[in-house]
């Protein structure tokens, strides 16, 4: 589903050059829930940005559904629109839109008719348990509620891949557990691949695979053997 080979990312040049990611390769199957682990500065976010097509690698290649990802900005934008859902650490909901409109937005970009996108968005908001807040705007919601809306937004177009950056970092224990359950359940239903960067050990337990980065290098890539882990279908 997602394959990347020899990915490197270097920032700056000359003496100020900083290599954030060094020769990272791996392959992730359809429906897997993969955690990117490692201390701060290990390159998790950099790898996530590259695999989410938000940034371009200095070296290496990425394949999505057996197709090499394009380099053209417009084509990348279209690919993100069709194939990737994002859950950002700081939710990044559009502040002027209501929860329902935020979830509708990716469908609007895909040209889905208003009635259909409204129905799908509402169904997903109900599924993540914030249906009653559909008409509220982000600043009227708690952190947990916003994160649920962000999850609904990421999943509403049923993308094959969801990129999540520290989805539980700003949540209390109960909310974090609920969010993890939600992602696991919705992902399983739609056979969605999740790639999650996190420091949260509770999340590691639920992932089918752990990729561990240290100083920009992939130092470990192993399957999770815990019973709570979600398996690739």
Partner 1 sequence: MLHAACLNLWRHRRRTLFTGMVCSAAMTAVLLGAGFALFTYQSLAEKAARDLGHLTLSHPDYFLDNEDVPLQHGIDRNPALEKRLLARDDVKAVLPRLQFSGLVSNGEKSTIFLGSGVDGSEFQLKGPFLKVKAGGVLPPAYLSKADDSIPLMIGEGLAAILKAKVGSELSLMSATSTGALNALDVVVVGIFSSGVPDLDKRQLYLPIQAGQQLLQSDKISELNIYLLDDQQQAGLATALQADMPALKVTPWQERAFVFKAVRDLYNRIFGTLGILMLLLVLFAVGHGISQVVTERTREIGTMAALGERRHRIVGNFVLEALLLGAFSAIAATLSTLLCCELLRQFEVMMPPPPGSSQGYPLMISFSSELTLYAALVLMVVCMLFALKASLSAARKPLVDALGFV
Which of 33-41, 69-77, 176-184, 221-229 is the region at the interface with partner 1 (rule: CB under 8 A)? 69-77
Q: Which CB, 96 or 174, lies closer to partner 1?
A: 96
Which of the residues 169 through 228 are near partner 1 (CB under 8 A)? none
Residues 26, 62, 109, 190: which binds partner 1 (CB under 8 A)? 109
Quickly list DSSP for the chain. Answer: -EEEEEEEEEES-GGG-EEEEEEEEEEE-TT-EEEEE--TTSSHHHHHHHHTTSS--SEEEEEETTEEPP--HHHHHHHHHHHEEEE-TT----TTS-HHHHHHHHHHHTT--HHHHHHHHHHHHHHTT-GGGTT--GGGS-HHHHHHHHHHHHHTT--SEEEEESTTTTS-HHHHHHHHHHHHHHHHHHT-EEEEE---HHHHHH-SEEEEEETTEEEEEEE--STTSPPP-
> Does residue 204 contact residue 37 with C-beta atoms inside 8 Å?
yes
Chain centroid to Cα 68, Å, comes to 19
Q: Which CB, 117 or 153, lies closer to partner 1?
A: 153
Q: Does 80 bind partner 1 (CB under 8 A)?
A: yes
Which of 13-21, 64-72, 82-90, 173-181 is the region at the interface with partner 1 (rule: CB under 8 A)? 82-90
> Does residue 123 contact residue 73 with C-beta atoms inside 8 Å?
no
Q: Does 49 bind partner 1 (CB under 8 A)?
A: yes
Any idea which residue has 């539980």 for tokens?
168
Q: Does 133 bind partner 1 (CB under 8 A)?
A: no
Q: Does 160 bind partner 1 (CB under 8 A)?
A: no
Q: Does 113 bind partner 1 (CB under 8 A)?
A: no
Residues 14, 16, 40, 73: which binds partner 1 (CB under 8 A)? 73
Q: Does 78 bind partner 1 (CB under 8 A)?
A: yes
Q: Which CB, 6 or 114, lies closer to partner 1?
A: 114
Q: Does 119 bind partner 1 (CB under 8 A)?
A: no
Q: Which CB, 108 or 233, lies closer to partner 1?
A: 108
Least spacing, CB of residue 92 vs partner 1, in Å: 4
Residue ranges that bind partner 1, judged by CB under 8 A: 49, 52, 54-55, 73-74, 77-78, 80-82, 86, 88, 92-97, 105-106, 109, 137, 153
């Amino acid at each position: 589903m997602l394959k990347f080979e020899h990915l490197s990312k270097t920032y700056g040049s000359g003496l100020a050059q900083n290599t954030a990611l060094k020769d990272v390769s791996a392959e992730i199957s359809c429906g897997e829930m993969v955690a990117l682990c490692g201390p701060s500065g290990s390159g998790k976010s950099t790898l996530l940005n590259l695999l989410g097509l938000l940034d371009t690698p200095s070296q290496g290649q990425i394949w999505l559904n057996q197709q090499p990802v394009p380099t053209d900005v417009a084509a990348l934008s279209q690919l993100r629109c069709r194939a990737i859902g994002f859950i950002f650490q700081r939710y990044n909901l559009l502040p002027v839109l209501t929860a329902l409109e935020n979830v509708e937005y990716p469908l609007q970009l895909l040209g889905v008719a208003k009635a259909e996108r409204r129905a799908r968005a509402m169904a997903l908001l109900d599924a993540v348990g914030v249906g009653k807040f559909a008409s509220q705007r982000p600043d009227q919601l708690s952190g947990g509620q916003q994160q649920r809306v962000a999850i609904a937004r990421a999943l509403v177009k049923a993308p094959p891949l969801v990129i999540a950056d520290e989805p539980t970092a700003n949540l209390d224990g109960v909310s974090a557990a609920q969010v993890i359950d939600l992602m696991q359940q919705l992902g399983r239903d739609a056979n969605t691949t999740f790639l999650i960067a996190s420091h949260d050990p509770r999340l590691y337990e639920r992932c089918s695979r752990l990729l561990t980065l240290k100083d920009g290098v992939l130092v470990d890539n192993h399957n999770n053997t815990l019973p709570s882990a979600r398996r690739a279908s």
